[in-house]
Amino acid sequence: MKHGFWSTLPHPFFVLAPMADGTDVPFRTVIARCGRPDVFYTEFVSAAGLASPEGRPKLLRDLVLTDTDHPIVAQFFGTEPEHLHAAAVLAREMGFDGVDVNMGCPDRSIVKQGAGIALAKDPPRAKEIISALREGAGSLPVSVKTRLGLYDTGDMDAWVGALLDAKPVVLIVHGRTMKEMSNMPAHWDLIGRTVEMAHGADVLCVGNGDVMTRQQGIELAERWNVDGIMIGRGIFRDPWLFGPHADETHTPQERLSLLSGHLDLWEKQWGTIKSFSLMKRFMKVYVSGWDGAKDLRARLMEAPDIATVRCLIETKTPVSS
């Protein structure tokens, strides 16, 4: 199959967006229990870090797989083709279903390295990186996640055209430029334009930006002819978003049960390796939607450790509204 596992997915298919300190094994496991997306992604991992004797052991923890993850794509970022080639070989050996290179991250620390969307300044290097990734990936399908450009959407055609010249299997487009960040609505009309370009090159196209519900994603897919929809922030509003119970009203007990399960998974996976403060970004995911949730959430945000969080959610008896 030319498009690998992507060819076996429904239309439109749904993908959970890769999010730094977000889409790790614990959170993916929670989402799989609520109703899994058609495709999971890892957090993005530094290809240069994996090439470093000091960085490799630490970063391998971000590439841990579970049986409930498949199909799953390993996402990397970097600027050196040889690093991306080696990362793709590693992903293949570890049993991933696909590999992706992030050419869309607008974070200042990533852009400063020349990676992420900064590669739009150097399309020839971007093409070299994709080619190296394809070579290292072997039979695994290669995808590219990007934005509409750096500062001006007028540069979109040239940038997207360069990426398509490198022949990825899938192009994932976030409908904003680097300059726009998330400060204005996503340009779905321009995503529609990238779909035309991608399909003309026999490349699947996935749209990303401002999708908060599954139904909204279906409507956007029908209007703009994208093959799939990638959702990031929407999952923080509704952990059940991808499953049959999306948009239902879930009881406080159900939500706190998810939080408790996430804590168990976090402790097993990370222990003291990662700061517990990273877990706090998920508090609003679970603790919202009922009278008293705001007060409980504030207390949880002040908790210094997992033991304190457990105490608070076990002694607090929420009442469904």
The catalytic residue among 34, 105, 205, 311 is: 105
Q: What is the pLDDT of residues 166-219, one digit of tens each?
A: 999 999 999 999 999 888 899 999 999 999 999 999 999 999 999 999 999 999
Q: Quick check: 212 and 237 in contact, CB under 8 A?
A: yes
Collapsing DSSP to helix, strand or coil, 6 comes out as helix
**Which pair of tokens denotes residue 256?**
């706190």
Global pTM value? 0.94
| Percent of the chain whose pLDDT exceeds 90 | 85
Q: What percent of the chain has pLDDT over 70?
A: 98
The DSSP bridge pattern shows strands 45-46 and 40-41 to be unpaired
Q: Which of 65, 66, 59, 28 minimizes the C-alpha distance to 44?
A: 59
Count of alpha carbons within 13 Å of 227, Cβ hemisphere only?
Answer: 22
pLDDT digits (tens, 9 = 90+) for 267-303: 999 998 889 899 988 988 899 889 999 999 999 999 9
Residue 163 is predicted with a pLDDT of 98
Average pLDDT, rounded, for the chain: 93
For the question of residue 34 being annotated catalytic, the response is: no
Q: What is the sign of the dihedral through the CA atoms of 136, 196, 223 and 1? A: negative
Q: pLDDT for 143-156, tens place per residue?
A: 999 999 999 888 89
pLDDT value of residue 183 = 80
Gap between the Cα atoms of 286 and 250, Å rounded: 10
Residue 96 C-beta-side C-alpha neighbours within 13 Å: 28
Mean pLDDT score, 21-41? 95
Structure tokens at 177: 């430029």
84 pLDDT band, cuts 50/70/90, is: very high
Phi then psi for 268, rounded to 5 degrees? -70, -40
Q: Where are the chain's structural domains?
A: 4-237, 252-315
In words, the CATH class of domain 4-237 is alpha beta
Task: Give the pLDDT mean for 295-316.
Answer: 90
Q: Residues 24-31: what's their mean pLDDT?
A: 95
DSSP annotation of 251: P
Q: What is the DSSP letter of 39?
A: B
| pLDDT band at 310; cut points 50, 70, 90 | very high
Which of the four pLDDT bands, split at 50, 70 and 90, describes residue 248?
confident
- For tokens 């630490």, the residue is 58
Measure CA of the first residue to CA of the last residue in the chain; give whole Å. 50
Rounded Cα distance, 275 and 288, in Å: 23
Check if the beta carbon of residue 38 is closer than 8 Å to that of residue 13: yes
The confidence score (pLDDT) of residue 321 equals 39
